[in-house]
Structure 1
């Protein structure tokens, strides 16, 4: 059964709050951008109704690849109307709030495949033939892992300290990476998904890849802290 939130999203569509020309929904007057999904496992030709790339179903490696591919695919093809980082400015539904479960998946994939038309006017184009199923589920994975608003607030002061330490090349990189990973695990998603993809988790990831990546980790934290205010 749909929740009040999903019912509200459906009402937004019905009310015509996506009243923008199809050219805008298709990333301005530019053709939709292709999404390279070679790193993701095939899902078959028949369209699924539930996200196959969640970590609990596909494993952490596939989940992380889907998040990164979905990040690129979303921000090239969807952000113009649904907002950078999936944070809507009010022009279109805020997709972060679709539940990370089958009902939310069905809502998302229906509109991805067939678009949305009201009174003979296309509000959103169909992406089924343009981007395909693997790209659809990668974008869905990215969207559902967006942190909820204010998710970093409780840790902002400490994150600023860690950022400054990393920028100055101070502190134990391994210890800071472990602390960032611990903080990242507490970040909640707007969709209810169990794991968030945040600037904190990405900072921890680049430090885990190499303790020399202190500058890159510091820059990621700067972005996250800036977005939080």
Structure 2
């Protein structure tokens, strides 16, 4: 995605904001986000996501995704949709490029919000939530998997889930296959890793968590997809 795409998103936001929709965010108080496990970023607002794995390491990146998911669901999903899948009332943030252009557009809206004709369509989150929360939410958004790619693996993931639930799966073989599937699932932002259910379940098994736990992750994800 390039500057033209970002400009298109901005134009779409302006058009959407001009419409009268019941899910406008103006009357909703922003909810605090616990970012205590993330590195502090200081007072000066950054212009590029510092929590990407290549900058902060995979452990910080994974924690940012986890915290960002909570922050997004509390503050953003009402307008931008669960799993960042927009229903058409607000821009689909999954398409924001996972590099500087996308970061600039995102942070402008996050910090300052959006107001039209004196009506707040999106509150200014910057001072209320801080930039650690801002970048955690950004990290979560840019790692959303491409739903179309995911659909091609749903049947196999359901079969793997059933094996895990039965408790007779070869954990090493299943973990390896889940990792392969995860590697084939792309993001819509261009981010290198999609935080898909295959990725999560593979990591759970690699970390020694139970087969039931990995099966639960797959079940929740497959249910959401349907």
Aligned mates of 2:39, 2:124 — CA distance in 1: 23
1:35 alignment counterpart: 33
2:183 alignment counterpart: 185
Instruction: Indicate conservation of the 8 Å contact 1:114/1:126, yes or no.
Output: yes
Unaligned runs of 5+ in 1: none
Q: Does 1:222 align with 2:205?
A: no
Instruction: Indicate conservation of the 8 Å contact 1:22/1:125, yes or no.
Output: no
Aligned mates of 1:96, 1:116 — CA distance in 2: 19
**Inter-CA distance 16–161: structure 2 relative to 1 (3 Å threshold):** closer
Aligned mates of 2:20, 2:71 — CA distance in 1: 21
2:47 alignment counterpart: 49
1:158 alignment counterpart: 156
**Inter-CA distance 20–69: structure 2 relative to 1 (3 Å threshold):** farther
Unaligned runs of 5+ in 2: none
Correspondence list, 1:1-229, <5 A: 2-17=2-17, 19=19, 24-25=24-25, 29=28, 31-211=29-209, 213-229=210-226
Number of residue pairs matched by the alignment: 226
SS at match of 2:162: helix
Aligned mates of 1:187, 1:125 — CA distance in 2: 33
Instruction: Indicate conservation of the 8 Å contact 1:150/1:228, yes or no.
Output: no
SS at match of 2:152: helix
Segments ≥4 residues shifted beyond 6 Å: none
**Inter-CA distance 149–131: structure 2 relative to 1 (3 Å threshold):** same
Normalised to the residue count of structure 2, the TM-score between the two structures is 0.92
Aligned mates of 1:176, 1:23 — CA distance in 2: 42
Aligned mates of 2:43, 2:89 — CA distance in 1: 33
**Inter-CA distance 150–22: structure 2 relative to 1 (3 Å threshold):** closer
Instruction: Indicate conservation of the 8 Å contact 2:23/2:78, yes or no.
Output: no
SS at match of 1:151: helix
How large is the RMSD of aligned CA atoms in angstroms? 2.0
